[in-house]
Structure 1
Amino acid sequence: MDAIELLTQQHREVDELFEKFEKAGEGKDELLMDLFVRIADNLAAHAIIEEKIFYPSVYVGPTADKLQEAVEEHLSVKRVIADLLDMDPSDVQFKAKMKVLQELVEHHVEEEEKDLFKSVKKLMTKEELAVMGEQLEAMFSEVIQTQPRMQVPRETDEAAPLA
Structure 2
Amino acid sequence: MPTGLPSDCIAGLLDRLDDPRDRLIVALVAIYAFLPGQLDHLRRTDLDRSKGRLRLRRAGRLGHVIYIDAFTLRLAAVWELQRHQRWPDSSNLHFFVTRNTAVDDSGPPISVGAVQSLLQRVGLSTGRLHVDRIVDEARHSADPVQLM
TM-score norm. by structure 2 comes to 0.29
Structure showing the higher strand proportion among its residues: 2
Higher normalized contact order (CA 8 Å, seq sep 6+, divided by chain length): 1
Structure showing the higher helix proportion among its residues: 1
TM-score norm. by structure 1 comes to 0.27
